[in-house]
Amino acid sequence: EALAQEVLRLKRERNAVILAHSYQLPEVQEVADFVGDSLGLAREAQRTRAEVIVFCGVHFMAETAAILNPEKTVLLPDLEAGCSLADSLRPEDVLAWKAKHPDGIVVAYVNTKAEVKALADVCVTSANAVEVVSRLPQDRPIYFVPDMFLGAHVARVTGRRLDLFPGECHVHAGIREEHLKALLEAHPGAEFLIHPECGCGSGCLYLKPDAKMLSTEGMVRYAKGAEAREFVVATEVGILHRLKKEAPEKAFFPVKPDAVCEYMKRITLEKVYLSLKEMRHVVRVPEEVARRARRALEAMVAVG
């Protein structure tokens, strides 16, 4: 409590805004001015009038905020808050594909490093990937990087052929069919909300053909509006705090209660406090990289 008060006091003093991803710890979400998914956070970072953005999320998200806002100071409370998915893809991998497909289009999931975004034609998040890809020209090869489960979902829904990089989020990839069956049987009236990064992917759909494949923001919106009272949820468990807060009269059951992203959880309230107190750690992207990545990111925030 006292620490949260201190954070809010320092935030005013610094003219800062706190942006938190939906996978953050509950106490971090509670001090944030805005809690959302990558797309919402990128838009919020663009919109804010604060001079300082404390980014409670992982490194590529803070980089995205810095790229979209070169004139603002973006702080990441812990530089070890990385992303194994973003780290799995090197710029050389994209260059190698481009060399083979000179007329190709590179679609980079926002979970990538700035150097990869600089090589991409357009970035997407899980909330708008289907819409962005469905608008691309029909006659050119498309490379979708780096999440293969999300890529397969987008290919299935849009009917487009996509070259996929074999990357995965270790937390979502670990959510598999065997975690599901018993839970769906125990809650026959529940709706099933599944994140497209999940390892069971569209393979789970046979267990529940009316499952909804949604981004976290899509899950929150859907759960609030749906008639159902119970939901089985397949994604990182940080989202449960938001779901329970925004739809308090409904019940949510995580498919895998230990689907926890240890990188997201590196951001503690204490570190948010220290970040504001000591103005650390500033995330900067070299202007040459930022300039090229900005095009792809601006194309992303415009859709969905």
Q: How far apart are CA 250 and CA 235, in angstroms?
A: 17
Find the residue with minimal CB distance to ligand MLT: 37
Q: CA of 8: how far to CAs of 72, 216, 246, 291, in Å?
A: 19, 26, 22, 33
Cβ at position 277, least distance to ligand MLT in Å: 27
Q: x/- string (CB under 6 A) for ligand MLT, residues 222-261?
A: ----------------------------------------
The secondary structure element, H or E, covering residue 142 is strand 142-145
E strand segments, 12-72: 16-21, 34-36, 52-56
Which range of residues in 100-108, 152-160, 198-206, 215-223 is near ligand MLT by CB under 6 A?
A: 215-223
Interface with ligand MLT (CB under 6 A), residue total 9
Give the pair of three-digit tokens for residue 101: 């497909």
**Single residue of 18, 32, 35, 38 touching ligand MLT by CB under 6 A:** 38
- Select from 29, 64, 88, 216 the one that contacts ligand MLT (CB under 6 A): 216
- The least CB distance from residue 135 to ligand MLT, in Å, is 19
| 24 binds ligand MLT per the rule CB under 6 A | no
Contact string (CB under 6 A) for ligand MLT, positions 182-201, x = contact: -------------x------
Closest distance of CB 140 from ligand MLT, Å: 25
Cβ closer to ligand MLT: 75 or 261? 261
What's the closest the beta carbon of residue 47 comes to ligand MLT, in angstroms? 17
Cα angle value 31/35/38 (rounded, 5°): 140
Q: Which of 48, 88, 112, 215 binds ligand MLT (CB under 6 A)?
A: 215
Cα 51 to Cα 59: distance, rounded to the nearest angstrom: 19
Residue 178 gets which letter from DSSP?
A: G
Contacting residue, 11, 29, 32, 37, with ligand MLT by CB under 6 A: 37
Q: Which residues neighbour 4 within 8 Å (Cβ) at sequence distance 6 or greater?
A: 27, 30, 31, 269
Long-range contacts of 237-244 (CB under 8 A, 24+ apart): 238/21, 238/22, 238/23, 238/24, 238/25, 238/29, 238/264, 238/265, 239/22, 239/23, 241/22, 241/26, 241/29, 242/22, 242/29, 242/35, 242/216, 243/219
CB of 195 to ligand MLT, least distance (A): 6
Pick 94 or 233: Cβ nearer ligand MLT? 233
Shortest reach from residue 8's CB to ligand MLT, in Å: 25
Closest C-alpha among 258, 228, 266, 213 to residue 240: 258
Site for ligand MLT in 105-144 (CB under 6 A): 125-127
Coil/strand/helix, residue 40: helix
Q: Does 217 bind ligand MLT (CB under 6 A)?
A: yes
The CB-of-38 to ligand MLT minimum distance in angstroms stands at: 3
**147 is a site residue for ligand MLT (CB under 6 A):** no
Note the residues at the interface with ligand MLT (CB under 6 A): 37-38, 125-127, 195, 215-217
